[in-house]
Amino acid sequence: MKLLHRGAAAPTVGRRSLDRECSRVCGTVRPSLATLSSMQSPLVYFEIGCRDKAATREFYSKLFQWTIDSDGRIKSDSSSPGGHINSLGHEPHNYTIFYVRVEDLADAISRAESLGGKKLVGPVTLPGGGAFAWIQDPEGNTMGLYAE
C-alpha cells in the first residue's frame, strides 16, 4: 500500500476498494473529511506523546511527509485537524489522543461521567484561550475534549 502525502488525491480504484472493504466490515461507507467537519462535535486536534520529541518528529515527518516545527506543532490546512508531538516528561509517555470540540466542557464531562466514563485531566485553561480535558470511556479509551 502506497502512502499519499497531504494534498495528493487517492486513486479512484483504491478509494473504491477502501469503501467496499469498510462497507463489508462495518456495514457503511467510510466518512469523508467534509462529513467529519460537519459533525455536531467535530474532531479538531490530535496529539502524539513520546519520550524523544526529536526522534518522533523525524519519524512522522518522514513517514507522512508532514511539516513539523521544532516545538512539535504539525502543520495542517483547513481540510484536516491540527496536531502536535508532545513530551510530558512524566507518565503517560507514549500515547495518541484526539480532541473533540464541545460547546460546554463541564457539561460534556458531566455527561461522560453519567454514561459510565471518567474525568482524567482538567479542565485545563490554555494560555491562548480555550480549555481542554481528558476523559475515559467505560472501555478505557482516552480522548480529549476542547472548548473555546
For the stretch 68-114, pLDDT in tens is 998 898 887 777 788 889 888 888 888 888 999 999 999 999 999 99
| pLDDT tops 50 at residue 31 | no
The whole-number pLDDT of residue 119 equals 96
Going by pLDDT thresholds of 50, 70 and 90, the confidence category of residue 139 is confident
β-strands 82-86, 131-136 pairing:
unpaired
Of the two residues 135 and 23, the one the predictor is more confident about is 135
Of these ranges, 4-13, 23-32, 98-107, the one predicted with the greatest mean pLDDT is 98-107
Q: How many CB atoms lie within 10 A of CB 103?
A: 10
Residues 101 and 38 sit within 8 Å (Cβ to Cβ) = no
What's 46-66 look like in SS3? Answer: EEEECCCHHHHHHHHHHHHCC
pTM of this structure: 0.66
pLDDT at residue number 38: 60
Largest separation between any pair of C-alpha atoms in the chain: 46
User: How far is it, in rounded angstroms, from Cα 84 to Cα 74?
Assistant: 5
Residue 141 CA neighbour count, 13 Å, CB half: 7
Q: What confidence tens digit (pLDDT) does each residue in 34-80 have?
A: 445 566 788 888 899 999 999 999 998 888 888 899 889 888 777 77
Burial class (CB in 10 A: 0-12, 13-18, 19+), 112: buried
Residue ranges of domains in the chain, CATH in brackets: 30-147 (3.10.180.10)
Predicted confidence (pLDDT) at residue 130 exceeds the cutoff of 60: yes
Identify residue 74 by its one-letter amino acid code: I
Q: What percent of the chain has pLDDT over 70?
A: 74
